[in-house]
Amino acid sequence: MYKGKFGIIEQQALVDTGASTSLICTKQSPIIRNTNIDHIRTLQSYNGKTSIVPFIKDVHCQLGSLQITTTIGLQELDNVGILGMDLIKNYGLVIDLPNRCLYKTSEEDEVGTIILPSHRIGSVKACQDIAMPTWESDVQEIVERHLRVFAQHKLSCGKIQQIVSVTGPDPRPIRQYKFPVEAQKGIDDTIQALLTQGIIVKCESPCNSPIWPVRKADGKSWRLTVDYRELNKVTPKMTPVVAKYPEIIAQIANGARWFSVIDISNAFFSIPLHPDSWYKFAFTYLHQQFTFTRVPQGFHNAPTICHRAVTNLWKNCKYAKHILSYVDDILIATVDREEHLKVLEEVLDTLGKAGFLINSSKAQLVKTSVTYLGVELGKDGRKPDQERIKMIASLPAPTDVHTLRMFLGLLGFSRDFIENFGLKAKPLYKLLKKSQPWQWGTVQQEAFMQLKQSLMQAPALAYPDPNKEFHLQLSTGKEAIGAILMQEKGTSTKPVAYGSRTLSEVEQQYTACEKEVLALVWAIQHWQYLVGMAPIILKTCHTPVRYIISGRANNGRVSHPRIAQWTLALMSHPIRVEPSKTQNIAPALLCRPVDPTVLEDHECPMPEYRAPEEVSPFSLMEKYEAIKEHTPEGMWVVDGSCLRTNGKLSAGAAALHVKTNKEVLRSIDVTSAQAAEIVAIILALENSDPNADMTICTDSEWVLRALIDWMIVWRERGMNTTNNKPVAHAVLLNHAWNLAKQRSRKTYLFKVKAHRKNQAEISEINNIVDQLAKKAATLPWKQSWKVPTLSEINSIEPKEDQGTMDLIKLQTLDREIGTLMKQGKYKNYNIFKHACGVIMARKQHEDTLDLEKEVPVVVMPTALRQELISLSHAQGHFGVEKTLDRLSAVAWWPQIQLDVEHFIQNCLRCAQNNPKGNNGGKPIRHQPINGPWHRLQIDFIGPLPKTARGNSYCLVIVDPFTKWVEAIPTKNCTAKTTARVLLNEVFARFGLPSEIDSDQGTHFTGEVTQHLCAALGIRQRLHIPGHPQSSGLVERSNRTIKTALRKIIDSSGKRWDEHLPLILMAIRSTVSANGYSPHEALLGRPMKTPELWWVEGGVPPDEFRPRMLTDQYIRQLLETISSIQKAVAITLKKNMQKVDKRLAEHLQIKEWEIGDQVLYRYVSEKQHPLSPRWMGPCFIISKAGPTVYQLEISLGKRKYKKWFHSSQLKQWKIKDVNPQVSISPEGNQVPENPP
């Protein structure tokens, strides 16, 4: 780039070796612009645009020391001129690229030099003609009439009127990562070209996606790609409308002989984005942000947007039935050539009016054979593209899962051309399983070569004719089924498609006749898009249709729901079976010798009777009169319901005992009517007399058939369907099955014709139970029903040497439990075996405040104890007493307290975060408390790390009477915020207290807070400054919350407000010193927590926790709350002296010895409040008295020594595992190997 003078105008000019003509800018050259024009030429720019350019001659130009007179063109070029090859050649100019200069030599070897700047301003592509392909004369005439539709450059694109807006949240910005340096040159040119066309623009956006250049197939050039994965995650997906390739092929007119393939040039770039959406597509290149103004590649909705835009063009076309589209690839197929030309002209005209351009180099116009989507289409049918076949045939054997997946992906596109593809590829697909190690052997190599050979020998497939009948041949084998779909073409029958698939483990057990039916149904469903409702002629030696309709399949290995699906599929399609004396089984599918008798025509027999491994515990009661005759005392009517209330789904189950009118209602968590129906049956089984016959009346045909017929087959398969998928509601069905098996008398099921008006008595009762089920789904207090199975206990992994055994087996193998079972008692625990086989323990109390009899708990085997302690302790990392209280609600064993103590003493998180507990103070005098919610203690925690929600503080409220804790995250701790939170979050929910205890912080002494308390009649009690012990309970709660947060949140601490509710749940559900949890003391019932799986799911739960109707529950709840609060008041007064005594014993100085392991107090100005407080453990290497110690601290490979005061140290000890003991009947523990 340099400065030059053209006539009387000075202007910058760019030397461009790709430009054939020199041009100057006329925007600022009115004198030159008004000069007489010598001639006019039509020029074409690099982007394919043509323009008419006037030329003037004898223009005096001065370029540095060079002065010439030449002919030059006038064009508006953004104030920049171009010196093209005409000037360089005519005046003998030489370009010196290394020195970035021009020089001219003469006969005297004089050199006139023009210096170019050292930086690159820009470049313009050559204004040269683009060679167009040549077609036949009539096609050429059509093309010439639509020249404006054809792109002139590889980056040329049109622009349609449709504007696309992108919805959804903004993607998070991703920093640009490194890419190959050699790609920069290719990307430079692409960026500049896209900028010139306006496809991208410079921007400043809060969003950013990284670019990743991809090397093209030539191995030299690069393609610009942008990684829009983050944008795709947050942008809703549009409904996919892109047709599948087989569906497009099925639309090709039968007998088509003439084809055209049109590829739209840069179709995505032809669709503008709305300016409000530009910023989302920003990317960075060389420290400059750019963004797309058109739909880019890599955006997951781009194919759908483009496909819709293209297919919408054909709606008003006269010849739309001959036009097929797949995103930007257009196919025209006709029988007649004359008609084909008309369709072609209409397509070109429509594309031009819409604003699309056509890639002329990829256009295949009016041909008898074209390649479309990797398939060669011709008058004789379709076959794989030869270039694709050569590429696949040259591939080497895969070396890992990645290359194998690529090979199968390439080959799978052509699977319609390969007979029995499923069986041939099965050895390769097995290697893709996660559980399968990579092992490429002879079998895999043979399958690999066989697939490539099959592709190279693939025959041409005929186009389907929906007006003709299809011929279907089936093939069945041990591991796969296959089919060939054919049609008559002239005098011969030609294949239309090949299909096959492998059989699941369940399907491999089918008989030959059952597999034949399976293959027939699968083929009809697989080729529905090709066949439609055209008749099918099936040639086989079997009688699959009669086999299904006659009911002979009901005794086989196929489940009844599957038979029903097969029957529906076969009855809904016209099928004609023609007997054949030769069975059409492909030899490759036969993995065993062929039985000659099977190849003969036969009537598919009834499968041989196979005695099931177990018999259903349910029997069918066919007539209602029989119920009154056989089970008048044990008749139950059940129903389940699933409703939508206030926009949310809820489900409930109800069971009614007809004789006594006993109602059992439950709401359930699973929002399914079928699941609710099964739960209703379970409720009837749980509440019935196991020693008497019973009949359960249900209106669900599916549940009845599942329990009577299908469960036998399902249980043999491990509760899996034919497709190896879990049976719906398998846990519920199994539980109902097991409950029925435990009964000593018969269990009948009766099908009720539901919701019939003015029908039999049973239907009227069923309508009543239906209303009860709906009521259960909408109860104000929902007792969420949970299946009482052992699955959750079994999910705890035992020690490796125990294998994968269930709870009962582990109890049987545990020697200690065996001893307990023989003795029947241990201290104040009775040991017994429940009816379900689980060994349990029940505690005996002489004096108790419990409102119901003690709930039995599981005697936990040794293999599960540590995992169970870990599960209970993980709920907040509380101390020994609270962890033991939580654990004792679900399990027991003789050394449970010692094991809990040992586990917690060795918990590193607790040691690092728990306070030392020695503050050197004196016990405080406790103030009397009159009742629940009478006096509240409040305080702020913070500032804490600021969360994504903007919270930095936490207001903590404690009721000293019930120990109930509220903790509300806040953005600040002002008096206004304090008053708002207290009024809206605390008082509005629990009512007003009489007194509030707090420190003298401004958030509590501010006018807003004081006016609020005065208006509501609440007395404020302010503490002495610097003496937080006055509100010791709230200070202790603060410490508990912060300690728990430090243990479970991430290292940044910026998500503490998300973890806070679970910590509060753990605090409120933990039993206090008064014998009740805060939840139970305030609300009158215990909280349901994760570790109470056995209490909620005991077998059966009704024996220990009687269910009540709503009115009974409310009355008993009031009595319960009154009793609990009286007990709390008595216990609270007694505990005051114990607490004072315990504090006095706790305040003692600990002395250590050299070699002891301790933790040291970690204090840093930069640490946030939720960082660990104790570090270590470290060894004591020296001491200078009873209070000063020296530790050796290791930081990575570096070690150093440091002195600490005893107040900055905490004990770290690891006790040995308790020795094996034997149990005496009195509960004494005697070591087996005494020293």
> Which residues are CB-neighbours of 1041 under 8 A, at least 6 positions away?
941, 954, 956, 965, 967, 1060, 1063, 1067
Lowest mean pLDDT among 306-320, 423-437, 498-512, 788-802: 788-802
Q: What is the pLDDT of residue 788?
A: 44
Residues in the chain, how many? 1235
What value does the mean pLDDT take over residues 236-242? 82
DSSP label at residue 211: B
Residue 279: per-residue pLDDT: 94
Lowest mean pLDDT among 578-582, 881-885, 891-895, 1156-1160: 578-582
**d(C-alpha 724, C-alpha 718), whole Å:** 9
Confidence bin at 206 (pLDDT 50/70/90): very high
Please tell me the predicted confidence (pLDDT) of residue 743: 85
pLDDT at 914: 66
Q: What is the pLDDT of residue 495?
A: 87
Higher pLDDT, 3 or 590: 3
At 318-356, the pLDDT tens digits run 888 889 888 889 999 998 899 999 999 999 999 999 999
Q: How much of the chain, in percent, has pLDDT values that exceed 90?
A: 10
In this predicted structure, the answer to whether residue 123 has a pLDDT above a threshold of 70 is: no
Give me the DSSP letters along 1192-1216. Answer: EEEETTEEEEEEEEGGGEEE---PP
Average pLDDT over residues 1161-1169: 60
Q: Looking at residues 389-400, what average pLDDT do you find?
A: 84
- Among the residue ranges 179-193, 834-848, 878-892, the one predicted with the least confidence is 834-848
Q: Residues 989-1008, buried b or exposed e (16+ Cβ, 10 A)?
A: ebebbebbbbbebebbebee
Residue of 1138 and 924 predicted with greater confidence:
1138
Determine contact, residues 1230/1224, Cβ cutoff 8 Å.
Answer: yes
pLDDT greater than 90 at residue 807: no
Q: Which of 310-324, 598-612, 1176-1190 has the lowest mean pLDDT?
A: 598-612
> Highest-confidence range of 128-137, 609-618, 687-696, 1156-1165, by mean pLDDT?
687-696
Indicate whether 1148 pLDDT > 70: no
Asked if the model's pLDDT at residue 922 lies above 60, the reply is no
pLDDT beyond 80 at 1163: no
pLDDT tops 80 at residue 450? yes
| pLDDT > 90? residue 530 | no
Q: Which of 42-51, 254-263, 619-628, 974-983 has the lowest mean pLDDT?
A: 42-51
Q: What is the pLDDT of residue 1119?
A: 63
Residue percentage of the chain with pLDDT more than 70: 74
Question: Nearest to residue 47, comparing CAs of 244, 248, 193?
Answer: 193
Q: Does 581 score more than 50 pLDDT?
A: no
| Mean pLDDT, residues 160-184 | 87
Write the DSSP assignment of 31-83 as a string of letters. Answer: HHHTSPP-EEEEEE-TTS-EEEEEEEEEEEEEETTEEEEEEEEEE--TTEEEE
Q: How far apart are CA 733 and CA 737, in angstroms?
A: 6
pLDDT winner (highest mean) among 6-10, 995-999, 1143-1147: 995-999
Per the structure block, which two tokens stand in for 827? 């201290």
* pLDDT over 60 at 554, yes or no: no
> 880-888 and 862-873 helices cross at what angle (nearest 10)?
120
pLDDT, greater one: 535 or 912: 535
| C-alpha span between 226 and 297 (Å, rounded) | 8
Among the residue ranges 37-51, 469-483, 1009-1023, the one predicted with the least confidence is 37-51
Mean pLDDT of the chain: 76
pLDDT at 812: 83
Residue 609, pLDDT above cutoff 50? no
Query: How many other C-beta atoms can be found within 10 angstroms of the C-beta atom of residue 40?
Result: 10
Question: Taking Cα atoms as reference points, which of 827, 852, 843, 848 lies closest to residue 1084?
Answer: 852
Average pLDDT over residues 1025-1052: 61
Q: What share of the chain is helix, strand, coil (3-state, %, to 5)?
A: 35, 25, 40
pLDDT of residue 171: 92
Q: 43: pLDDT confidence band, cut at 50, 70 and 90?
A: confident
pLDDT value, residue 277: 93
Residue 274 has pLDDT above 90, yes or no: yes
Confidence of residue 96 (pLDDT cuts 50, 70, 90): low
Distance from the Cα of residue 820 to its chain's centroid? 47
**Which has more confidence, 691 or 580?**
691
The confidence band for 1174, taking pLDDT boundaries of 50, 70 and 90, is: confident
Write the burial class of residue 798 (CB in 10 Å: 0-12 exposed, 13-18 middle, 19+ buried): buried
Distance CA 1208, CA 1188 (A): 10
Domains of the chain: 2-115 (2.40.70.10), 137-379 (3.30.70.270), 380-461 (3.30.70), 463-587 (3.10.20.370), 618-697+721-781 (3.30.420.10), 791-913 (1.10.340.70), 935-1073 (3.30.420.10), 1149-1235 (2.30.30)
Q: What is the pLDDT of residue 1098?
A: 40
Helices (H), 673-777: 673-686, 701-705, 711-716, 730-742, 761-777
Question: 101 in helix, strand or coil?
Answer: strand
Q: Is the pLDDT of residue 606 over 80?
A: no
Averaged pLDDT for residues 606-613: 48
pLDDT at 119: 34
Rounded to an integer, the average pLDDT of 554-580 is 67
* Residue 1024 scores a pLDDT above 70: no
Q: What is the pLDDT of residues 721-768, one digit of tens each?
A: 766 778 888 888 888 888 888 888 889 999 887 555 545 678 888 888
